[in-house]
Amino acid sequence: MYENKSPVQRAILAAVDLGEYDVNASLDELAALAESAGAEVVARMSQKRPQFDPATCMGEGRLEELAEAVKNYECDLVIFDHELSASQLRNIERAVDAAVVDRTMLILDIFAQRAVTDEGKLQVELAQQRYLLPRLAGIGTQLSRLGGGIGTRGPGETKLETDRRHIRRRIRSLEERLRELTDRRERMRTRRKKDNLLTVAVVGYTNVGKSTLLNALTGAEVLAENKLFATLDPTSRSLELPDGRSVLLVDTVGLIRRLPHHLVEAFQSTLEEAAAADLILIVCDIASPDVREQLDVTEQVIADLGAGGTPTVLAYNQCDRIDTIPFPLQKNAVLVSAKTGFGFDRLLAALARALEPTQRRLRLLVPYAQGGLRNEITEAGKVLYEEYTESGILLDALVDQKILYKFTGMILPQESI
């Protein structure tokens, strides 16, 4: 679906190791991001330093080695695993004689390729404009060199060379349009609450199988590819639980290590679906060696959104790819395989247990004289079975607890419901 018709760019990855995190693991992820954007990674280079060089990020000697590698590998792109300032971008580009982008620019490029809805495109452009505003001086030369390559795609690409005043106006306009969409989304959430529609936000690291799991559980046709950020725009699908209740599964944008704060901020309206949900379904890839870090990143973002108190169920996906469970499972965890369907029954049961009961399943005999109660049930509940008998309407139904008092004397024994 996301066909990149531009010539494949040969890229070298670069990083400075300050000892704050596992640089090799971060470069592995950067390589996956680069490939997802359409680049071919041919080499990687890192340097241990106590701090970044303010002018070139790397030290002078290591930068010369990077320039030599660019020449030897015939590369036209260097991707740094950190955010770079305008002067660093300009200085590094001059030193290596190739286009230079940083981690955030790469992620924004992928987002620009993936956004489908108006809201997704607005969020991408807003993030681009906010990021580019302080870096205009360093990025101008890249446009002519890249010619539309990685780091220059997306709704905002034609505005990169405009002056700061115009970009600030554009940012204000985008913020206003996103506020309107956010208000609309909030009204939809309010309506769902009013209708007692339970929502389950599907949250997790990118490329752990969230969309595949959503498709398998609901029969949806959400794009599911083995790429980072294969789906960017939120998707909602209805799902019926074993107790008869229907919930709305809401997919959310995937997370990654060190997701830049302003990207979280730009996608706030999308991620608010998780903050406003009745339950959060966290999906992790149990076959990944980084599964614990995936969970840590996800839980941290959930906490940052103010949803730390929301009930959670943890789905360890891709259990079909492991022979033994590598660690004891948490109380709220379930092993599943979106590919084979293994564990789905236990997962649905776990979701039903975790959701606060708002309805009761009852066997009722409603007199014909009070037949209007049948319609009241369907306003906030569900009729699962009905039969018209001589004595009245026999119902098997999910009844909102707020109206249980209206059925006094009509409740029958729970015989083989």
pLDDT digits (tens, 9 = 90+) for 353-368: 998 777 888 899 999 9
Lowest mean pLDDT among 221-230, 277-286, 402-411: 221-230
Question: 216: Cβ–Cβ under 8 A, 6 or more apart, which residues?
Answer: 338, 339, 341, 344
Q: Name residue, tokens 């980072």.
A: 228
Predicted confidence band of residue 207 (pLDDT cuts 50, 70, 90): confident
Q: Name residue, tokens 């004595």.
A: 391
pLDDT of residue 389: 93
Sheet holding 99-102, edge to edge: 39-48, 9-17, 77-80, 99-102
Q: For the chain, what is the mean pLDDT?
A: 83
Question: 258: Cβ–Cβ under 8 A, 6 or more apart, which residues?
Answer: 21, 26, 103
Concatenated DSSP letters for 164-188?
A: HHHHHHHHHHHHHHHHHHHHHHHHH
Q: Which two tokens stand for residue 111?
A: 């987002």
The answer to whether residues 228 and 259 touch, using CB atoms and an 8 Å cutoff, is no
Predicted confidence band of residue 195 (pLDDT cuts 50, 70, 90): low
pLDDT higher than 50, residue 43 = yes
Residue 177 or residue 257, greater confidence: 177
Mean pLDDT computed over 228-252:
77
Residue 133 or residue 18, greater confidence: 18
Q: How far is CA 44 from the centre of its chain?
A: 27
Q: How many CB atoms lie within 10 A of CB 183?
A: 11
pLDDT of residue 224: 53
Dihedral of alpha carbons 291, 294, 298, 301, sign: positive
Residue 72, judged by CB atoms within 10 A of its CB (0-12, 13-18, 19+), counts as exposed
Concatenated DSSP letters for 87-99?
A: HHHHHHHHHHTSE
Predicted confidence band of residue 229 (pLDDT cuts 50, 70, 90): low
Looking at the chain, the whole-number percentage of residues with pLDDT higher than 90 is: 38
The answer to whether residues 362 and 328 touch, using CB atoms and an 8 Å cutoff, is no
Lowest mean pLDDT among 92-96, 192-196, 392-396: 192-196
Sheet holding 198-204, edge to edge: 236-240, 246-251, 198-204, 279-285, 312-317, 333-335
Distance CA 122, CA 181 (A): 10
pLDDT of residue 259: 72
Question: 125: Cβ–Cβ under 8 A, 6 or more apart, which residues?
Answer: 154, 155, 156, 174
pLDDT of residue 180: 86
pLDDT higher than 90, residue 127 = no
Q: Do the strands 333-335 and 312-317 form a parallel or antiparallel pair, or are they unpaired?
A: parallel
The answer to whether residues 73 and 42 touch, using CB atoms and an 8 Å cutoff, is yes
pLDDT higher than 50, residue 159 = no
pLDDT higher than 50, residue 373 = yes
Q: Which two tokens stand for residue 128?
A: 């681009």
Neighbouring-strand partners of residue 359: 400
Euclidean distance between the first and the last CA atom of the chain, given in angstroms as a whole number: 46
Mean pLDDT computed over 235-243:
85
Distance CA 414, CA 362 (A): 7
Beta strands in 147-292 (DSSP E): 198-204, 236-240, 246-251, 279-285
pLDDT higher than 80, residue 156 = no
pLDDT higher than 60, residue 139 = no
Tens digits of residue pLDDT in 289-336: 889 988 988 888 888 777 888 899 999 999 999 999 988 999 899 999
Tens digits of residue pLDDT in 396-409: 998 888 788 899 88
